[in-house]
Amino acid sequence: MIVGAGAAGLAAGIFCARLRPDLRITILDGAQKIGAKILVSGGGRCNVTNVRVIAEDFWGGSRNTIRRVLRAFTEKQTVEFFHEIGVSLHEEQWGKLFPDSNSAKTVLNALLSEAGRLGVTIMPGHRVVDIQHCEVFEIQIDVPRTGSKTLTTGCVVLATGGRSLPKSGSDGLGFQLAQSLGHSLVEQTPGLVPLELDDTFHGELSGIAHEVELTIKTAHENPVRISGPMLWTHFGVSGPAVLDASRHWHRAKLLNQEVTFTANFLPGSDFVTAEARLLDLTKNESNTLVRNALAALIPNRLAEMLCREVEIPGRMTMGQLDRDRRRRLVHVLIEREFRIRGSRGYNYAEVTAGGVPLDEIDPSTMASRKCPGLFLVGEILDVDGRIGGFNFQWAWSSAHVTASGIARFFS
């Protein structure tokens, strides 16, 4: 019995049915419509995986464990699997792989039809509210209009996801189920989530996207640096670099650590090289207004805002820029601090950081080390990937390992 028919649950059902056609496999899901999260993923196009997936693309539990699971079912095997079920993929920027149809629906339909072909039963509208284990599992289910019912089974796969996008059905109840079966939990925070700023700065820049290097610093760990596009919004900042950085900000806050979050608007430049670039502009464009000259390096409106911030008058030319102002400008260009008020939370988060600790599962089978007959897959575990198809790859890989674990369990 699999609880949760998201990416991990559907894949676990399919892989398990392929390995052990003799087993009766049922997937229960609380949502009335299966696959809501797959459908909205990748902007409705579903970034299925990436051309290169390594353990370092993930955070959370032990990288060795993550590596073992990824190696057991690689990104190449994912591409082959989807090809087999009729979904060919193509590569886009940053190695992201999308279906050729550019529609997440193709991915969901292929998974559902493969599950159907293999005789996997999927039961939507079946929300599991309690699981008791004593030799066998007793699963208590809430079914709208019908009331509650109890099913008995020898093996349970928890594929209930995390807390991100709760309206899709992944509301965190799965964590309670895991806990009631003997697991501990690494506290959860949103990941891959836009951040809200305290400044007023962002409002005027809303809609502008450009490259940045973000640095998240705490007193306790090495700084984390993330480069990529950032998008200014009416509430703060978003875009791939910010989404990747958000989990680090959340984890630091969770641990009550002082955290500074800065943006380098000239990625790859340090103080010396950034100042050299400004001196070049002074030499070659001495009659150009500072804000216009800066627009060669960063978006126009951002250039205006930064000039205002360091009190460079609108009519000042590069030739008139004194050393003190130039240095203040370099400072805000390469180390502009963001005062973060919070994040947009689980309703906007693509993933959940934290969950069931990896050292409580056997990475060769995804079997629980706490409860015999229990398996855990996908986002419920303490693993979160960066943006780019990595979280789905974790779902596919962990599902494949689970299937072999279940086959072994019943042998």
Ligand X SMILES: Cc1cc2nc3c(=O)[nH]c(=O)nc-3n(C[C@H](O)[C@H](O)[C@H](O)COP(=O)(O)OP(=O)(O)OC[C@H]3O[C@@H](n4cnc5c(N)ncnc54)[C@H](O)[C@@H]3O)c2cc1C
According to CB under 6 A, which residues from 309 to 338 bind ligand X? Answer: none
**196 counts as binding ligand X under rule CB under 6 A:** no
Q: Closest distance between ligand X and the C-beta of residue 205, in Å?
A: 24
> What is residue 158's three-state secondary structure?
strand
Can you tell me the distance from the alpha carbon of 36 to that of 5, in angstroms, rounded to the nearest whole number? 10
C-alpha distances (whole Å) from 66 to each of 54, 72, 243, 293, 331 are 9, 10, 21, 47, 39
**161 counts as binding ligand X under rule CB under 6 A:** yes
**350 counts as binding ligand X under rule CB under 6 A:** yes
Query: How many residues form the binding site for ligand X (CB under 6 A)?
Result: 37
Q: Closest distance between ligand X and the C-beta of residue 8, in Å?
A: 3
Of the candidate residues 13, 42, 194, 354, the single one contacting ligand X (CB under 6 A): 42
**128 counts as binding ligand X under rule CB under 6 A:** yes
Q: Which is nearer to ligand X, 215 or 402 (CB)?
A: 402
**160 counts as binding ligand X under rule CB under 6 A:** yes
Of the candidate residues 4, 191, 239, 355, the single one contacting ligand X (CB under 6 A): 4
**3 counts as binding ligand X under rule CB under 6 A:** yes
Of the candidate residues 53, 156, 173, 274, the single one contacting ligand X (CB under 6 A): 173
Of the candidate residues 2, 14, 20, 30, the single one contacting ligand X (CB under 6 A): 30
Q: Which is nearer to ligand X, 55 or 295 (CB)?
A: 55
Residue type, 321: L
C-alpha distances (whole Å) from 179 to each of 37, 98, 190 are 24, 35, 20
Q: Which is nearer to ligand X, 9 or 194 (CB)?
A: 9
Return phi, psi of residue 120, to 5°: -75, 130
Q: Closest distance between ligand X and the C-beta of residue 289, in Å?
A: 42
Q: Closest distance between ligand X and the C-beta of residue 313, in Å?
A: 44
Of the candidate residues 14, 28, 157, 312, the single one contacting ligand X (CB under 6 A): 28
**389 counts as binding ligand X under rule CB under 6 A:** yes
**75 counts as binding ligand X under rule CB under 6 A:** no
Of the candidate residues 246, 282, 391, 397, the single one contacting ligand X (CB under 6 A): 391
Upper half-sphere CA count for residue 270 (Cβ side, 13 Å): 1
Can you tell me the distance from the alpha carbon of 394 to that of 400, in angstroms, rounded to the nearest whole number? 10
Chain-centre distance for alpha carbon 90? 21
Query: Is residue 72 within 8 Å of residue 403, measured between CB atoms?
Result: no
Q: Closest distance between ligand X and the C-beta of residue 54, in Å?
A: 15
Neighbour-count burial for 372-387, b at 16+ CB within 10 Å, e otherwise: ebbbbbbbbbbbbbbb
> What is residue 407's three-state secondary structure?
helix
Of the candidate residues 60, 61, 174, 240, the single one contacting ligand X (CB under 6 A): 174
Q: Please, is 127 exposed, middle or buried when counting C-beta atoms within 10 Å of its C-beta (0-12, 13-18, 19+)?
A: buried
Interface segment toward ligand X; rule CB under 6 A; list 23-31, 80-88, 179-187, 308-316: 23-31
Of the candidate residues 1, 2, 7, 318, the single one contacting ligand X (CB under 6 A): 7
Structure tokens at 99: 């279906």
Structure tokens at 363: 């990475």
**What's the Rg (C-alpha) of the chain?**
24
**127 counts as binding ligand X under rule CB under 6 A:** yes
Structure tokens at 157: 């796969």
According to CB under 6 A, which residues from 353 to 382 bind ligand X? Answer: 378-379
Can you tell me the distance from the alpha carbon of 316 to that of 313, in angstroms, rounded to the nearest whole number? 5
Q: Which is nearer to ligand X, 82 or 390 (CB)?
A: 390
Can you tell me the distance from the alpha carbon of 266 to that of 330, in angstroms, rounded to the nearest whole number? 10
CA angle 307, 309, 315 (to 5 degrees): 35
Name the residues that contact ligand X, by CB under 6 A.
3-9, 28-31, 37, 40-42, 46-47, 127-128, 159-161, 164-165, 169-170, 173-174, 350-351, 378-379, 389-392, 395
